[in-house]
Amino acid sequence: MKILVVDDELVSREKLQKILKKVGECEAVMDGRSAVEACRDAWDNSSPFDLVILDILMPEMDGTVALRTIRRLEDESDIPKDQRAKIFMVTTQSDKETILACVQAGCDDFITKPFTYDTVIGKVQRHGFVVHDGAGMDLPDQEPGQPGEEGGRSDLLEKLIIRFKRGEINLPTLPQIHSKFKELVDAGANIQDIAEFLKSDAAITSKLISISNSSYYQGVVENRTIDQAIGRLGLETTQQTVNAIANHELYMARDRKYTGLMDQLWEHSLSCAHAAQIITESLHTSLQEDPFTLGLLHDIGKLLLVQVVGEMEKKTSEAVESRELFQILGAYHDKAGAVLLKRWCFPEIYVNVALKHHLEDEIDSFSRELVVIHFANALVRAMGYGLDDPDPAELSAVPSARRLGLDSGMIADAKNEVKQRMDELKHYLD
C-alpha cells in the first residue's frame, strides 16, 4: 500500500509518517502542487497512491485546490471509482464552508489537528485499510457452557480467530456518504447545502424523492426535486434515511447462499431502527445519539460474521454448517459488532449498544439509549423480524419496558406503528 502525506509543517508531516508506517509505504511532500505532481508520476508509473492525506492550509496550492485537481485528473484518466485514492483532509478548521467544499470536491474523511495515533489509525481502519501491527480483530475465547461445541470453542470459531489474528479478514468499510453527511450536519449545513451534496448520488436522490411522496409522508403536491424532498422529510429524517440506504448496501450478500440470511438481518436491523425511533417519540424524550441509527447498527456484528464466514468458505472451499454458523452468530455477534464500530470510530454509546443489547441482568445500570435499543430489539423479535422465531412472552414484563414505563397499550401502539412503517417504507430501501 502506498501513502502520500502532504503538509507544510515539518512536525505534523513527520508525525503522520511515523503513525502511517504501520499501514504502508509512506512518502511526503510540502505543498499541494508537489502532491499533484507526485500523484501524476505515480499514475504514469502504474503505481498509484492508495491514500493521500492533504493538509488544507498550505502555501503554493492549498489542500482544497489540490483535492479538486487530483479528482479532476482521475476523471480525465477514466480511473474507476473503486480504484481511486482515498483522500483525507487535515485541518484545524470546522466551519461549514470548508467542510462542504471538501466533501463536494471528493474527499473521503477529515483528520482534525491536533491528532493522535488512535484518531489517525481509526480513520484508516474505518476505510478498510489494514494496520500491520501484529494485531487482528480480537474475539474473546469462548467459555465452557457458551453456545458452540461442548466444553470449549468450536472449530469454526477457532478458524475465525486464527484468520483475524493473521490479518486475513477484510472488514467491511462504513459507506462514505454516512460519514460525509454527518460532517456536514455537525458543521451546521442547511437544507440547501445537504441537497447540493446529495445531488451527486442519483440513486439516493431518487429514493429520497420517492420516500417523500410515499403514502406515509405524502403531501398535497408531488415532490420532484431533492430540495423539496428534504423540506418535507426534515433534516433528521433525511439523515436517518440516507444512513439506512447506505447501510443496506452492506447487506448485499456476496454469496447467493447467504442472500436469505442477509435479507433477514437487514429486516431486523431496519425494524429495530424504526422501533427505537417510535419508542423515543412516544416517550417524548431525547437521546444523546440518534435512536434510529443506534437501532440500525445494533446487530452489525452478525453482518460482519456472515461476511467473514462466506469469505473463509471461498478461500478454503470448506462449507460451514448452518447450525454452527447460527451458534457463532448468537454467541459472538455482540463482541464482533463492538469491534467493528470501534474501527469505524463511532462514539462509545454505539459500541456499548452493540455489546450489551441482549443483556437483562444489568438493565438498571444501562444508559437510556441502551434501554431503548434493548426493548426495541425485543419488540421486533416478538413481531417476527429477524432470525429468531417470534417470542410469545409478554413484552410489558421485559425489564427494559418496565424501566421505560411502557404499558401494554403503548407497546401495542408501537407494534402497529413499526408494522406500518415497515410495510410502507421498506421496499423503497431495497
- Return mean pLDDT, the chain: 86
pTM: 0.78
Tell me the domain boundaries of the chain.
Answer: 2-126, 175-251, 258-299+357-430
Kindly provide the residue ranges of all beta strands, DSSP E only, lying in 56-155, ordered along the sequence.
86-91, 109-112
What is the assigned CATH class of domain 2-126? alpha beta
Residue 114, preceding bond cis, omega within 30 degrees? yes
Residue 190 CB contacts under 8 Å (≥ 6 apart), including other chains: none
Of the two residues 100 and 67, the one the predictor is more confident about is: 67
Find the mean pLDDT for residues 315-333. Answer: 84
Q: At what angle do helices 348-356 and 368-382 cross, to 10 degrees?
A: 40
Give the number of other CB atoms < 10 A from CB of residue 349. Answer: 18
User: Quick check: 413 and 277 in contact, CB under 8 A?
Assistant: no
Q: pLDDT of 238-248, one tens digit each?
A: 999 999 998 99
Residue 147: pLDDT band with limits 50, 70, 90: very low
Q: pLDDT of 386-406, one tens digit each?
A: 887 666 678 999 999 999 999
Cell numbers 504502508 correspond to 24
